[in-house]
Amino acid sequence: MGSLAALAKEQGLRVTGCDQGVYPPMSTQLESLGIELIQGFDTQQLDLEPDLFIIGNAITRGNALLEEILDRGLPYTSGPQFLAEHILQGKWVMGVAGTHGKTTTTTMLAWILEYAGMKPGFLIGGVPKDFEFSARLGETPFFVIEADEYDSAFFDKRSKFVHYKSRTLIVNNLEFDHADIFEDLSAIQKQFHHVIRTVPRNGRVIYPQGSKAIDETLEKGIWAEKQSFGVEGSSAEARYHLVESDGSVFDVRLADHTHRVTWSMTGEHNVSNALAAMLAARHVGVELEHSAQALSQFGGIKRRMEVLADREQIALYDDFAHHPSAIKTTISGLRAKVGSEKILALIEPRSNTMRMGIHANKLAPSAQDADQIIWADLSGNNELGWLTPELSEYANQHIEISVDAIQGAVDRFIEMHGGTKVHVLMMSNGGFGGVREALLKKLGSE
The string of pLDDT tens digits covering residues 372-408 is 999 888 878 777 888 888 888 888 888 888 888 888 9
Average pLDDT of the segment spanning 415-420? 87
Same fold, 81-295 and 306-445: no
**Rounded distance, CA 126 to CA 327, Å?**
18
Which neighbouring-strand residues pair with 78?
55
- Ordered by start, the domain boundaries in the chain are 81-295, 306-445
CA-closest candidate to residue 76, choices 181, 12, 152: 152
Residues 15-39: tens digit of each pLDDT: 999 998 777 777 888 899 999 889 8
pLDDT at 228 over 90: yes
pLDDT band at 371 (very low <50, low <70, confident <90, very high): very high
pLDDT of the residue at 178:
66
pLDDT at 10 over 90: yes
pLDDT of the residue at 353:
67
CA-closest candidate to residue 234, choices 200, 262, 275, 185: 275
pLDDT of the residue at 215:
97
Is residue 3 within 8 A of residue 148, CB to CB? The reply is no
Residues in the chain: 446
pLDDT of the residue at 303:
77
Least confident of 94-98, 133-137, 418-422: 418-422
pLDDT at 280 over 90: yes
* Alpha helices (H) along 168-219: 185-197, 212-218
Query: Is the domain 306-445 a CATH 3.20.20.70 member?
Result: no
Is residue 58 within 8 A of residue 34, CB to CB? The reply is no
Ramachandran angles phi, psi of 212, nearest 5°: -60, -45
Instruction: Identify residue 383 by its one-letter amino acid code.
Output: E
Pick the CATH number of 81-295 from 3.40.30.10, 3.10.180.10, 3.90.650.10, 3.40.1190.10: 3.40.1190.10
pLDDT of the residue at 11:
95
CA-closest candidate to residue 142, choices 205, 95, 86: 95
**Rounded distance, CA 422 to CA 307, Å?**
13
DSSP string, 265-309: --SHHHHHHHHHHHHHHHHTT--HHHHHHHHTT---BTTSSEEEE
Rounded to two decimals, the pTM is 0.79
pLDDT of the residue at 44:
94
* Alpha helices (H) along 116-246: 185-197, 212-218
pLDDT at 74 over 70: yes
pLDDT at 446 over 60: no
Mean pLDDT across the chain, nearest whole number?
91
Helix/strand number for the chain, H first, E second: 14, 22
pLDDT at 8 over 80: yes
pLDDT at 49 over 90: yes
